[in-house]
Amino acid sequence: MNTRLPEHIRARVDAVLDSVDAELRLRYPGQGPRMQPVHTVYVPADRATADTPVEWGATALELLDRHAGFLAGLDTTDSLPAVRVGLSARPVQDLRIDFEDGYGFRADDVEDAAATAAGKTLALMAEKPGAPGSFGIRIKGLAKDERRRALRTLELVLDGVADVLPGFLFTVPKIRAAEQVSAIVDICSGIERAHGLPDHTLRFELQIESPQAIIAPDGTAPIARMLAMSDNRCSALHFGTYDYTAACGIAATDQALDHPAADHAKTVMQVAAAQTGVWICDGSTQIVPGSDPEFAFTNHYRLVERALRRGYYQGWDMHPGHLVTRWLATHNFFRTATDVAVPRLQAYLGRGQEGVVDEPATAEALSTTVVRALRCGAVSDDELLARAPELTEQTLVDLMTRRWSSRESTEARETR
């Protein structure tokens, strides 16, 4: 299309904006096809076995059955039957064997043995039915007194999981500066060369649990720099509830996922990671089903639902009882959200003018919600097909990626 702009000005504008477009596409590719797990289970290295996911699922089912009457009061969408099926088939989607706070400091020969065993454990775990889709370890931090131990543990574990690396991730705790991420990238490339692994095989997660990771000494927000320096190896940002709130001076009685200090940190993480394809993972709660299981269930359900409403679709689970309320809250949330999303998407596709008139950005969010509901099992393919046959997988993907408008334009031209 012609304009009345002088050609030399148009060429200058194109050169500047084409460069900007290329940079934005590189840094902000969008969510992509990866499926974000609903949770990450943390298990201390001295307690993890290849049967841990099955054992956690069995314990969660026992708790569900024992407290079914109470849990029915939390079930707003008749999701308990589906949760029971999920806990029987694949209770854990993502798992980390923990060599940091959950394991502590041991003699080098003891951690060497635990790391070697962890590699074999993960390899065996990956072969079992209903295995986690992703797995890995949390190493110790990169401070001088922990660094060599952390790297040795990582390499010993990798010796045992070389054949199942596509699902392997390692979590780096206590990140405080962007330069640490550059060092992690060097570590990854060095290990790949030393072990004969293909380039970019290793991916990692950054655990944000220090105020300095949110606001740097110069007043900037360093997480965006961290992601830019990650060489596209960073999979997710995990929030460390207790280290972060403690560092902010929050009293132990008030350290929690829903403290305003925690909310601020997670909001900064969310904005920094938006459209990069890097996931945000909420932290943990230390309250587990024990002497007062009903309080523990109610508290965890509330926290999971709260996180979901704020766009944090993954969180840590530290006890088998957390699986019950994690899955129940997730199913309830996405079933309810789908009930809202489907009619609005149908109206959008039909260019309906009643009720809410949605824009492409909202259609993108609505379709993403439906896809998340399908992937976590809250809604089945058959349910969606019966309710909205026009919402095919391809249509949902087109709406998620905003290709629907261009697809409509192409179809309209072909019709003409």
Domain boundaries, the chain: 39-335, 338-415
Closest CA to 159 of 119, 205, 193: 119
What are the pLDDT digits (tens) for 273-311?
999 999 999 999 999 998 899 999 999 999 999 999 999
pLDDT of 414 reads 47
For tokens 């132990």, name the residue.
252
Distance CA 143, CA 150 (A): 10
pLDDT at 402: 80
Dihedral sign from CA coordinates of 329, 335, 336, 342: positive
Angular region, 202: left φ>0, alpha ψ -120 to 50, beta rest: beta
CATH class of the domain whose range is 39-335? alpha beta
pLDDT at 162: 78
Tokens at residue 396, please?
Answer: 């949902």
Which of 200, 201, 195, 285 has the alpha carbon at shortest distance from 239? 285
Residue stretches of the chain with pLDDT short of 70: 1, 164, 351-357, 405-416
Rounded CA-CA distance 335/374 in Å is 10
Would you state the pLDDT for residue 412?
Answer: 42
Token code pair at residue 81:
């039957």
Q: What are phi and psi of 168, to 5 degrees?
A: -95, 135
